[in-house]
Amino acid sequence: MISEALAVAWKDFRLELRTRERLSSMIIFSIMVMLSFRFAFSFFGVHAEDPVLSASLVPPMLWIAFFFAGMLGLAPVFAKETDTGTLNGLLLAPTDRFAIYLGKFMTSLFFIFLVSLASIVFFAIFFNYDYAGQWIGIAGVTLLGTAAYASIGVTVSALASTAKTRDVLLPLLLITVTLFTVVVPSINATSSILMNDYETALTNIRYVAAFILISFVLSYFLFDEVLED
Partner 1 sequence: MLDVKGLTKKYGGKSILRGIDLKVPPGQICILLGPNGAGKSTLIRILCTLTRASGGEVIIDGHSVAEEPAKARRMIGAVLHETLLYEDLTAAENLRFYSRLFGVSAGEKDIDEMLTRVNLLHRRNDRVGDFSRGMKQRMAIARAMVSGPKLMLLDEPFTGLDIKSKEQVSGLISGAATTGAAILMTAHDPEMAHDLAHRLLVLVDGKLAFDREKTSVSKVDFVAEYRRLAGASR
Partner 2 sequence: MKWGKRRDSALLVTMLVAMLLLAYLSTFVAVLPPLPWDAISFHLFFYHIPIAWTAYLSFGVVFAASVQYLRTRAQKWDMVAASSAEVGVLMTTLALLSGSLWSKAQLGYYWTWEDAKLFTTFILWMAYVAYIALRTGVRGDARARLCAVFGIISFVFVPLSFFSSRWLVSVHTNLTSYPFPMINGVILLLGVVAFTIFYVALFRLRYDLETQMAEIETVKEAMEETT
Residues at the contact surface with partner 1, assessed by CB under 8 A: 3-4, 6-8, 10-11, 14-15, 18-19, 84-86, 88-96, 228-229
SS3 50: coil
* Residue 14 interface partner, choices partner 1, partner 2, none, CB cut-off 5-8 Å depending on type: partner 1
Residue 147 · residue 109 · CB < 8 Å: yes
How many angstroms separate the CA atoms of 175 and 158, rounded? 15
**164: contact with partner 2 by CB under 8 A:** yes
**Rounded CA gap, 112 and 41, in Å?**
25
Q: Which does residue 195 bind out of partner 2, partner 1, none, counting CB within 5 to 8 angstroms by kind?
A: none
Q: What separation, in Å, do the N-terminal and C-terminal C-alpha atoms of the chain show?
A: 21
Nearer CB in complex with partner 1: 22/193: 22
| Residue 18 binding result from partner 2, partner 1, none, given CB thresholds of 5 to 8 Å by partner type | partner 1
Alpha-carbon 80 to chain mean position: 18
Name 117's Cβ contacts closer than 8 Å, sequence gap at least 6.
139, 142
Contact residues toward partner 2 (CB under 8 A) are 152, 155-156, 159-160, 162-166, 168-169, 172-173, 175-177, 179-181, 184-185, 200, 203, 207, 211, 214, 218, 222, 225-226, 228-229
